[in-house]
Structure 1
């Protein structure tokens, strides 16, 4: 079935180069939006008196939740 005497041409609309550029742009933007969340976390040594050992733990820095709030605002407004 033809619409308006022409066939549907997806090949010229969605090119490989355009898809690659869109994918890279999306990946980089998502990564950059998550950087503040990664920056507020840190790996520290913490003494455990119960086991009498020092452990390496993954902790979040005390920043009042600013990085999380900024991430939520930017992600909800840009990605949605």
Structure 2
């Protein structure tokens, strides 16, 4: 179920990001086509996935290192 949850999270996040861009960009004087908005959203989604994966791996490595340190100290 975690894969479905992760995919749903990314899909909803992409939709929210594109919708926010469509609403907010004109308020800042940015004239962007829907195609460009979709591409910008896709790029930021990819960056977010890489960031999330890297942080997950980092925290998992920290957890393993702490576990090994605790086990070695016994």
TM-score scaled by length of structure 2: 0.39
Which is helix-richer, 1 or 2?
A: 2
Larger Rg belongs to: 1
TM-score scaled by length of structure 1: 0.37
Which is strand-richer, 1 or 2?
A: 1
